[in-house]
Amino acid sequence: MPKVGRQALLRRIAELGRRLSGLGYDAYYVTNPENIFYLTNYFFLQTERPLALLVTARGELALFAPMVEYEHFSLRSDLPVEEHYYFDYPGEVHPVKFIAERIGELAKRWGIESLALETRAGAAGGWGYSGPALADLLGQLKTAVEPRLVEDMRLIKDDEEIALIEESGRWAARGLEIASGLMAEGRYDWEVALEASLELSREMKKAFGQDYMPLRESVPGFVGFRGQIGEYSYYPHSISAPRPFKRGDVVGIGAGPEVGGYYSELERTLVLGGASQEVRRYFDAMLELRRAALDALRPGASAAEVDRAVRARAERLGLAEKLRHHTGHGIGLGFHERPYLDVGSDEVLRPGMVVTVEPGIYVRGLGGFRHSDTALITEDGYKLLTKYPEDLDELMV
């Protein structure tokens, strides 16, 4: 089954330990589900119930979790971990108070005197969560908030991560092929999405074997439209369209199946039936913005430079007012993560970063025009990890 191997996880934990020691901390308290997965291959459904992983600079692990997660860690990860469970939230004893008491006991056994916290609260929050701040309950320890220690490590992908993202990209292309074959006038986006996702998931299961299971999703091979049908594709993040496909529709379609917990992003603008001259004009302009972004994508460039290159090209084309978002974003464990290809970012692109490239043009009453590909920053430029036809004549269905 494709996933990051145990040795890579141990290397990550060791690297986090080196960073902790360099900053003068004995341990780190992690609450972000993606960061916990990055270190352990264990993913859980984040609810109001606090769940956290404690990692010491020497590499010891302790899990604090509600009973709904009992023995789930050992199903997903073979790393050694000391497990501490509370019954539920808010409980007779608030979970954060329970966690503070357990940390106090571990501090004595493991020699922890200073602790960095990913969040001061000690819980990811959401779903109506409230409670005391963990930082206020650890008076015996020196504490500080360091929200980006694991996030910074995730910026540069290793070979195993890149291979999983590229594999996701291959399946994304297959998903677009399947969905394109199912699209027809009179059909709805949601029924095509469901049928394509089911077929792609079946093909992935067959290819990966009987022991394959998605590590983070219940449906691994999702393909969809997000309601970007005809005039509704003017809305980049639409949810669903209130009507079926019809001839001449500009359609936004995307896929990025989970493989080993990682994602790619592959999106294309399709046209159902023939394309008008107006559609061709905006489609070609979108390809120009895409080329401007790719030409700027290289190590040493800032994320802001890439976005500025797209904005400058849009200005020359007289289309700046039809931009609705920045050029792209990082991707991997998160659908959206650093670096963000945005004029406001001071992040410098480095080999091993993986980003989407997706400048778009949005025309009221006509639709949205956006391709998205996943690109790896290399030593001398970039490599596309997703591949699919780009030209309009190849994308008419």
Answer whether residue 108 shows pLDDT above 80.
yes
Q: Supply the pLDDT for residue 105.
A: 97
Q: Supply the pLDDT for residue 291.
A: 98
Q: Are 6 and 218 in contact (CB under 8 A)?
A: no
pLDDT digits (tens, 9 = 90+) for 25-84: 999 999 999 999 999 999 999 999 999 999 999 999 999 999 999 999 999 999 999 999
Residue 339, preceding bond cis, omega within 30 degrees?
A: yes
CATH number corresponding to 6-154: 3.40.350.10
Q: Are 369 and 290 in contact (CB under 8 A)?
A: no
End-to-end CA distance of the chain: 34
pLDDT mean across residues, the chain: 96
Q: How confident is the model at residue 111 (pLDDT cuts 50, 70, 90)?
A: very high
How large is the average pLDDT for residues 325-354? 97
Answer whether residue 219 shows pLDDT above 90.
no
Q: Supply the pLDDT for residue 148.
A: 97
Q: Supply the pLDDT for residue 62.
A: 98
Q: How confident is the model at residue 113 (pLDDT cuts 50, 70, 90)?
A: very high
Helix, strand, coil percentages in the chain from 3-state DSSP, rounded to 5: 40, 20, 45
Q: Give, in order, the Cα–Cα distances in Å from 158 to each of 44, 216, 246, 289, 363.
A: 23, 20, 44, 29, 39
Question: Which pairs count as long-range contacts for 93-96, CB under 8 Å and 24+ apart, including other chains?
Answer: 94/131, 94/132, 95/49, 95/50, 95/64, 95/66, 95/123, 95/131, 96/50, 96/121, 96/122, 96/123, 96/131, 96/132, 96/133, 96/134, 96/137
Sign of the four-CA dihedral 164, 169, 175, 177: negative
**Best CA proximity match to 101, nearest among 79, 122, 75:** 122
Q: Are 395 and 271 in contact (CB under 8 A)?
A: yes
pLDDT digits (tens, 9 = 90+) for 251-261: 999 999 999 99
Query: Which residue reads 């996702």 in tokens?
Result: 197
Rounded CA gap, 144 and 133, in Å?
12
How large is the average pLDDT for residues 212-224? 85
Residue 96 CB contacts under 8 Å (≥ 6 apart), including other chains: 50, 121, 122, 123, 131, 132, 133, 134, 137
Whether 6-154 and 159-394 share one fold: the answer is: no
Rounded CA gap, 104 and 112, in Å?
9
For residue 233, the number of C-alpha atoms closer than 13 Å in the C-beta half-sphere is 28
Amino acid at 298: R
Q: How confident is the model at residue 21 (pLDDT cuts 50, 70, 90)?
A: very high
Q: How confident is the model at residue 276 (pLDDT cuts 50, 70, 90)?
A: very high
Q: Supply the pLDDT for residue 220.
A: 76
Q: Supply the pLDDT for residue 212.
A: 87
Q: Three-class SS of residue 236? A: coil
Pick the CATH number of 159-394 from 3.40.50.150, 3.30.420.40, 3.40.50.1100, 3.90.230.10: 3.90.230.10
How large is the average pLDDT for residues 345-369? 98
**Best CA proximity match to 299, nearest among 206, 374, 210, 376:** 376
For residue 378, the number of C-alpha atoms closer than 13 Å in the C-beta half-sphere is 9
Continuous H helices in 209-260:
none
Rounded CA gap, 381 and 239, in Å?
35
Q: Which residue has the higher pLDDT, 274 or 361?
A: 361
- Residue spans of the domains in the chain: they are 6-154, 159-394
Q: Are 26 and 114 in contact (CB under 8 A)?
A: yes
Q: Supply the pLDDT for residue 139.
A: 87
Q: Supply the pLDDT for residue 217.
A: 81
How large is the average pLDDT for residues 167-185? 97
Q: Supply the pLDDT for residue 337.
A: 97
